Structure 1
Amino acid sequence: MRSNCALYIDVGYLLASAAVRVTGTSLRAGIQVEFPKLIDDLVRQAEELSGLPVLRVHWYDAAKNAVPDWGQGLIGELPKVKLRLGRIGLDGQQKGVDLRIGLDLVTHARNHVADIFYVVSGDDDLTEAVEEAQVQGVQVVILAVPNASGVPHAVSRHLLRAADQLEVVDETAIDRNVSRKAVTPRPVDKPGPKSAVPSPAEIAARVQQVAPPPTSVLAYSSSTGSKSVPSSAYIEVEGASDQIDAVAKKVADSVRRSATDSDLRDIIAGRPAIPSDVDRALLLDLSDTLEVYDLEDPLRFKLRERFWAYLADG
C-alpha cells in the first residue's frame, strides 16, 4: 500500500498565531487570509518534510450549530480538504473542536490511513491523542506557527514532549498569505444630521464607568496551548500595568481598524460586555505576554478597563 502523510489543522490555533505574527494580537478579525494558497503551502511543506504525498487535509473550525458559513463551505470544497466543524456555544467559545481532532488522530492511526501525521496546533489537550496514535505506529509531528521572531508560538510543553518532532511553518507561507486587514473607510461628518458613528468623545462618555463582565474563563483556551508557568502564579496589577496597557491598546487598535461602522456601534452599545472574540484575544495576549496560564481577576478587570479607554481614545 502506498505511503502517505496527513495534515490536521486546528484553525483556531493557526489563525490566532498568524494574527500574532502579523498584527501583534491574536484577534482573528484583524487579519485577512488567502486560504487556498495557505493550505497549498502547508501541503507543500508537509510533502517536502516527509517525502510523501499528502492524503488529505483535515480542517478543524467551529460554526454556529456546526453549520458551515459561506467561507468555510468554500474551504470544504477545496481538493483533498475535509471540513470538520465543532460548535460555537452561547458564550462564544468553541465546543467539540479539540475532541474531533483527538478522535480523528486515534481513529486514523488505528486504520493506518497515513504514516506521518502533521498537526498544526499547540493544544495541550491533544497530548493523550498524540500518544495513542503513536502506539499504533504513526509518527506525529507538530507543525507550529512562528511568531514575529520565528519562534514557535503557544505550543504546550506536554504536547511538545509527546510529539515525535517539532517543525515550524515556513514563515513565507504566513507572510504572503496572511495580511493585516485594511483600514475600514469611515464617512466624513458633514453638516446636518448627526453621524451614526460615535465620535471619540461619545465613546469616552459611554465607557467612563466600566463594570467587569461577571463571567471568568481561562486566559489560554485549549485551542491555543498552555504556558509552563503554574496557574497559581500571582501577578500584581501595578507590576503589570505596562503590559496591560500595551495589550489593551493593540487589541483596541485592531478592533477600530477592522470593524465596520455597524460593528463598532454594536460593540459600544453592548458595553460593558466585550464581544467574545475580542475578549478572548485580550486574555490570550496578556497571558502570552505575562507567561501565565490563568489570569487573576484583578488583571482581567484592569485589562478590560484599559481596552475601553483605548477604544475611546481612538
Structure 2
Amino acid sequence: MNELTPPPTGHEGAPPAAPRLQPEPSRPELAEIAAAVERTNELLTRVLAEVATTPSTHAIFVDAGYVYAAAGRLVAGTEDRRAFELDAEGLIEAFIDKARMIFPDSRLLRVYWYDGARRRIHTTEQQGIAELPDVKVRLGNLNANNQQKGVDSLIRTDLESLARHRAISDAALIGGDEDLVSAVEAAQGYGARVHLWGIEAIGGRNQAEALLWEVDSQRTFDLEFCKPYVTRRAAYEPFAEPHVHHGPAPSRDDVRFVGAQVAAQWLGSRGRESLAELLPGHPYLPGAVDQELLVEAEALLGLSLRGHADLRRALRDGFWDHLRTQY
C-alpha cells in the first residue's frame, strides 16, 4: 500500500486555498427600515399610553323642532310653540345630567342645539341658548309654514364629522326623523356609538322605526321628566289657520295618492328630461326634490307630516309609483 505523502508546500502544484468568507456588503436600506420600525413602535407605545389615560368623550345632538313638538304635545297638548314656553336652559341641563349618569367615565364635548329661523336669523330665545356654556346653536331655515328646512343635514354633517375625526366616542341623539338614519350609520362606521333619546308619545310613536333599528341604545323621557320645563300660556288663543286638518289622520293609501298627485305636477313642470335624471337614484330622492314633495303634500293634506315617518314613506312611494309608470 502506497503511503500518502503530504502535498507540496510550494506554489507550484499546490491545491487551491479554501475560499475566504467575504463580509456581507453593507445594506443601508435595511438599517433605515429597522430604524423606521423602531420609531413606529415608539409612537404606537406613546399613543396607546395616551389613549389609556384619556377619558372617552360624548356629545348631545338636539333637534329642537322635535323637542318642542313632542314635549309640547305631551305636556301642553299642542305642538304650537306659541301656546307654551319651553325652559330650554333647564332642559339642556337635564340632558347634560342624564348623559353624565349614563356615561360616567366620559367627558362632555358640547351640546348641539339645532333649530330653524327665518333667513337663519336667530331669535332672542335662540341667542340666549347660544350663550349658554357648552352649547352650540346651529340654525336651519324656517319656511312660511313654520317648518324647519336643512336641520337634518346639519345634524348629519356634525355627527359624521365628529365621529370621523374621533372627537367623540358616544353620541346622544334627540330626534326622530328617518332622514337621520344615514348619519347614524356613518357615525357607527367610524366607531362611534349612537344612543337615541326620545320624548314619550301619546297614542303612537314620534320616532321613525328605521331610526330605532339602527341606533345602539334607546331611552325615552316621560311626562314626569318633561313637565318641569314646559309651561302653557294661559292667555294664548290660536289664530285660525287655513287648510288645517281636524279629522282623523289620513291613511297610507291617502298619502300615497297625494304623492302621485305631486309627482304628476312635478313631472308636468319639469319634463321627461328631469325624470331621466331622477330614476337612477331610486328609491332615494335628492334633498331639494324631497323637501318640495313634503311641502306640497302637506299643503294638500292640511297636515304636518313631521313625526309621521310611516306616512312620509308612503308619500315617497306614491311619488315614485307615478314617475315609474311614466318612464
Scaled by the length of structure 2, the TM-score of the pair is 0.58
- Displacement of 1:233 after TM fit? 6.4
Aligned-partner Cα distance in 1 for 2:72–2:299: 15
Question: Contact conserved, 2:207 with 2:307, CA < 8 A, in 1?
Answer: no
Task: Name which of 134, 142, 166 aligns with 2:218.
Answer: 166
Question: Deviation at 1:178?
Answer: 0.9
1:82 alignment partner in structure 2: 136
Distance 1:73 1:232, change over 3 A: closer
Q: Quick check: 1:33–1:178 contact (8 Å CA) kept in 2?
A: yes
Q: CA deviation at 1:117?
A: 0.1
Which residue is equivalent to 2:62? 9
- Assess, with a 3 A threshold, how the Cα gap between structure 1 residues 230 and 80 changes in structure 2: closer, same or farther: farther
Q: Which residue of 2 aligns with 1:71?
A: 125
Q: Deviations over 1:147-189 (max 9, x none)?
A: 358x7x411011111111111125433111112222249xxxx
For residue 144 of structure 1, report the CA deviation from its aligned partner.
0.4
What is the aligned partner in structure 1 of residue 303 from structure 2?
Answer: 283
The DSSP-based 3-state class of the residue aligned with 2:60 is strand
Partner residue of 2:229? Answer: 177
Unaligned runs of 5+ in 2: 1-53, 258-297, 316-327
- C-alpha contact 1:117 1:140 (8 A) present in aligned 2: yes
Q: Find the residue that maps to 1:155 and give its secondary structure.
A: coil
Which residue number in structure 1 is paired with residue 156 of structure 2?
Answer: 102
SS at match of 1:147: coil
Q: Aligned with 2:303: secondary structure?
A: helix
Trace 1:123-202 onto structure 2 (pairs within 5 A): 123-148=177-202, 153-169=205-221, 171-184=223-236
Task: Give the superposition deviation at 1:33.
Answer: 1.2
* SS of 1:9 mapped into structure 2: strand
CA contact (8 A) 1:230 1:293 kept: no
**How far apart are 1:58 and its partner, in Å?**
0.1
How many residue pairs get aligned? The number is: 218
For 2:199 and 2:136, locate their aligned partners in 1 and report how far apart those are by CA, in whole Å.
21
Q: Is the 8 A contact 1:122 1:159 kept in 2?
A: yes
CA contact under 8 A between 1:143 and 1:167: conserved in structure 2? yes
Distance apart, 1:27 and its partner CA: 1.9
CA gap of 1:34–1:127, structure 2 versus 1, over 3 A, is: same
How far off is 1:50 after superposition? Answer: 1.9
CA gap of 1:55–1:286, structure 2 versus 1, over 3 A, is closer
Relative contact order (C-alpha < 8 Å, sep 6+): which is higher? 1
Map 1:214-253 → 2, pairs under 5 A: none
Q: Percent identity?
A: 29
| Secondary structure at 1:53 match in 2 | strand
Q: Which of 45, 52, 72 pairs up with 2:98?
A: 45
Q: Which residue of structure 2 aligns with residue 59 of structure 1?
A: 113
For the Cα contact (< 8 Å) 2:116–2:148, is it kept in 1? Answer: yes
Q: Rg bigger for which structure?
A: 2
Opposite residue 112 of structure 1, the aligned amino acid is: R
Partner-residue secondary structure (3-state), 2:59: strand
Between the aligned partners of 2:68 and 2:215, the Cα distance in structure 1 is 22
Structure 2: how far apart are the matches of 1:180 and 1:294?
33
* Aligned-pair CA distance for 1:63: 0.8
Gaps of 5+ in 1: 186-197, 221-226, 235-277, 297-314
Q: Given that residues 25 and 285 in structure 1 are in contact (C-alpha distance below 8 angstroms), is that contact kept between their aligned partners in structure 2? A: no
Aligned to 1:191: none
Asked if 2 retains the 8 angstrom alpha-carbon contact of 1:55 and 1:114, the reply is yes
Deviation at 1:105, TM superposition (A): 0.7
Per-residue deviation, 1:113: 1.4
Change (3 A) 1:294 1:156: closer
Deviation at 1:70, TM superposition (A): 0.8
What per-residue deviation string (whole Å, max 9, x for no partner) do you get for residues 194-248 of structure 1?
A: xxxx9xxxx9xxx9xx8x59xx9xxx9xxxxxx99677568xxxxxxxxxxxxxx
Deviation per CA, 1:40-88: give whole Å up to 9, x if none.
0011111211223322000000111111111100100000000100112
Query: SS state of the match for residue 159, structure 2?
Result: helix
The amino acid that maps onto 2:59 is A
* Contact persistence 2:195–2:218 (CA under 8 A): yes
- Residue 108 of structure 1 and its aligned partner are, at CA, apart by 0.6
Letter in 2 for 1:75: I
**Closer/same/farther in 2, CA of residues 32 and 90 from structure 1, 3 Å limit:** closer
